[in-house]
Amino acid sequence: MTRPEFRFGPALLFCPADRPDRSEKALERADAVILDLEDAVADDDKDAARQALVDTPLDPERVIVRLNPAASPHREADLAALARTDYRTVMLAKCEGTADLVGLDGLELIALCETARGVLAAEAIAGVPQVMALMWGAEDLVASIGGTSSRFPDGDYRDLARHARTRVLLAAAANGAAAIDTVHLDLGDLDGLRAEAEDAAASGFAATACVHPSQVEVVRAAYRPTPEQLEWAHGVLAAARSEAGVFAFRGGMVDGPVLRQATAIVRRGA
């Protein structure tokens, strides 16, 4: 089976599936919307959320449906509702291993590694051809270990979260899947979000998840190369067409890895 291509832009916006009044607006604002059947929906509202999923069709090419965990009593009903829609891209909440991917034939999968088991299993999960992308989650990860906070008081991530972020990114890249950076929950801290999204783009993440429309443009701008970066990338790639092997460009050495970085910049600027 060919791995599905990650076709979404960099800003993915969560929306509770039981709020169809918000879903269309969310899709207008973001590159893709994640219709959430899990954490954003209370247990008593799960049935209403599934019905809203069926009754409020959106562009299936730009919708991801977050399912409840495989061990949850809600998963079977989630899949039954999904089968009544045109949506075929799903996010697997609290994915903890390849066994959680069984019974999902015909679907494009985004595995959310947000528990200790899930992060440690990221490499195996990413090796499954149906997996389009891996995403990591900080708060559920800390809770799964018995911790109380993923960040220091100044807003920086603790080592545990940084390790999980790096491990998920490497596992995805090693298997040809995309990686999605986690949400920034402090809605007033747009500068912090900008810094994290800029780091995510530079590190190789394909997208960052958002929890509020105000975060979308910040993320898009962070992933968009500057005019100076684009000019350099186009210039070095043009120079490479007339050079063989390693060469100098504007005072810097250029080899294969540098050319791949330039290609990535051009791709993000397209």
CB 193 within 8 A of CB 219: yes
- 189 labelled binding-site residue: no
User: ∠251-252-255 over CA atoms, to 5°?
Assistant: 145
140 is in an annotated binding site: yes
Beta bridge partners, 252, equal: 249
| 22 annotated as a binding-site residue | no
Closest CA to 90 of 120, 111, 118, 75: 111
| 50's tokens | 């599934």
Mapping DSSP to helix (H, G, I), strand (E, B) and coil, where does residue 240 land? helix
Long-range contacts at 102-110 (CB < 8 A, ≥ 24 apart): 103/79, 104/79, 104/130, 107/82, 108/4, 108/132, 110/64, 110/134, 110/135, 110/180
235 near 207, Cβ under 8 Å?
A: no
DSSP state of 5: P
Phi, psi for 30 (deg, rounded to 5):
-110, 175
Query: What residues form DSSP beta bridges with 32?
Result: 12
Annotated binding site: 66, 114, 140
Annotated binding site for Mg(2+): 114, 140
Annotated binding site for substrate: 66, 114
